[in-house]
């Protein structure tokens, strides 16, 4: 599925920027994708993010927008007593020890006089060397990003192996690159060239939950939408898919360094 970005143009007059549901005010973000795929809606703590394809008529955009707003309203009414959480932020700090997918990592962060910040992997040690003159906030963000990328290089083969296993058994698609990223609004994506992008936070989830996201993205190599055929394929591969994704939704705020969890194995 192609990437999308928040719309920089003024909202069409039929699109609201806020909506009140269950006595709570939600901001609405509308994003346009350079594709003809179906739209979707994502719910965050106080925001509703709507994706609408750009290659459809204004009337079709209106109909899709109205349908997606109605969908989220119905969902919130049905779960009005449920607490919603944001994804956990990925933050690493110096002298931190973390267990990720059965591997132990020790994080060390040092400031240097060099102009370039970098990460070096030495056994189970991730050594971060930061350039000088950075503010505390910027240094923390760069260090965390470098640590995440370094750890990703170590654990990525496990994700690739799992993708290949499910693909060869159920989908038989030609797969592009598999990458781990710090995804903002989704757990995974599948590009038009079948590159699979997965959220780094999945490394802190049980294997069964990681598998659910992998199956979802592999199903997009066959069906580029969320049609009935798409969901039939997903559930034929993983009948308890819904239970696994529910766990992910309920525990996403805990999937970060230093957080424990229990549940699906």
Count of domains forming the chain: 2
**Which pLDDT score is estimated for 43?**
79
Q: Quick check: helix, strand or coil at residue 10?
A: coil
Last residue of a domain, one of 32, 52, 78: 78
Model confidence pLDDT, tens digit, residues 19-59: 888 888 888 888 776 655 667 788 777 888 888 887 788 88
φ, ψ of residue 117 in degrees (nearest 5): -90, 145
Model confidence pLDDT, tens digit, residues 63-116: 888 888 888 888 888 766 655 567 778 889 899 999 999 999 999 999 888 889
Model confidence pLDDT, tens digit, residues 181-224: 998 778 999 998 999 999 999 999 999 999 999 999 999 999 99
Residue 144 lies in a domain: yes
Does the pLDDT of residue 2 top 50, yes or no? Answer: no
Residue 262 lies in a domain: no
Entry pTM: 0.72
**Strand pairing report for 103-111 and 125-130:** parallel
Q: What range does the domain containing 216 cover?
A: 96-254
**Which pLDDT score is estimated for 197?**
95
Q: Do 23 and 117 fall within a single domain?
A: no
Q: Do 226 and 157 fall within a single domain?
A: yes
Rounded CA separation 263/261 (Å)? 7
Q: Do 54 and 106 fall within a single domain?
A: no
Of 30, 27, 39, the C-alpha closest to 8 is: 30
Rounded CA separation 194/178 (Å)? 9
Does the pLDDT of residue 259 top 70, yes or no? Answer: no
Q: Do 229 and 133 fall within a single domain?
A: yes
Of 38, 16, 13, 37, the C-alpha closest to 27 is: 16
Q: Do 43 and 156 fall within a single domain?
A: no
**Which pLDDT score is estimated for 33?**
67
Other beta carbons within 10 Å of 233: 20
Q: Do 24 and 72 fall within a single domain?
A: yes
Residue 53 lies in a domain: yes
Q: Do 100 and 163 fall within a single domain?
A: yes
Residue 259 lies in a domain: no
């Amino acid at each position: 599925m192609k990437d999308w970005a928040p719309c920089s143009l003024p909202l069409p007059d039929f699109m609201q920027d806020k909506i009140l549901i269950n006595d709570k005010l939600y901001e609405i973000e509308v994003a346009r994708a350079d594709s003809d795929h179906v739209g979707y809606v994502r719910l965050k703590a106080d925001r509703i993010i709507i994706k609408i394809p750009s290659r459809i008529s204004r009337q079709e955009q209106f109909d899709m927008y109205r349908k997606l707003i109605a969908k989220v309203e119905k969902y919130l009414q049905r779960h009005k007593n449920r607490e919603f959480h944001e994804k956990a932020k990925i933050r690493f700090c110096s002298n931190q020890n973390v267990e990720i997918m059965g591997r132990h990592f020790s994080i060390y962060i040092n400031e240097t006089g060099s102009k370039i910040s970098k990460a070096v992997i030495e056994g189970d040690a991730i050594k971060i060397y930061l350039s000088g003159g950075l503010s505390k906030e910027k240094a923390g963000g760069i260090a965390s990003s470098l640590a995440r990328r370094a750890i990703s290089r170590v654990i990525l083969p496990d994700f690739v192996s799992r993708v290949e296993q499910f693909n060869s058994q159920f989908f038989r698609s030609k797969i592009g690159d598999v990458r781990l990223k710090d995804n903002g609004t989704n757990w995974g994506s599948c590009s038009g060239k079948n590159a699979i992008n997965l959220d780094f936070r999945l490394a802190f989830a049980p294997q069964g939950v990681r598998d659910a996201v992998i199956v979802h993205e592999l199903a997009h190599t066959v069906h580029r939408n969320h049609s009935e055929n798409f969901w039939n394929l997903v559930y034929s591969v993983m009948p308890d898919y819904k239970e696994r994704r529910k766990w992910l939704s309920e525990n996403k705020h805990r999937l970060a360094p230093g957080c424990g969890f229990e549940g699906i194995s």
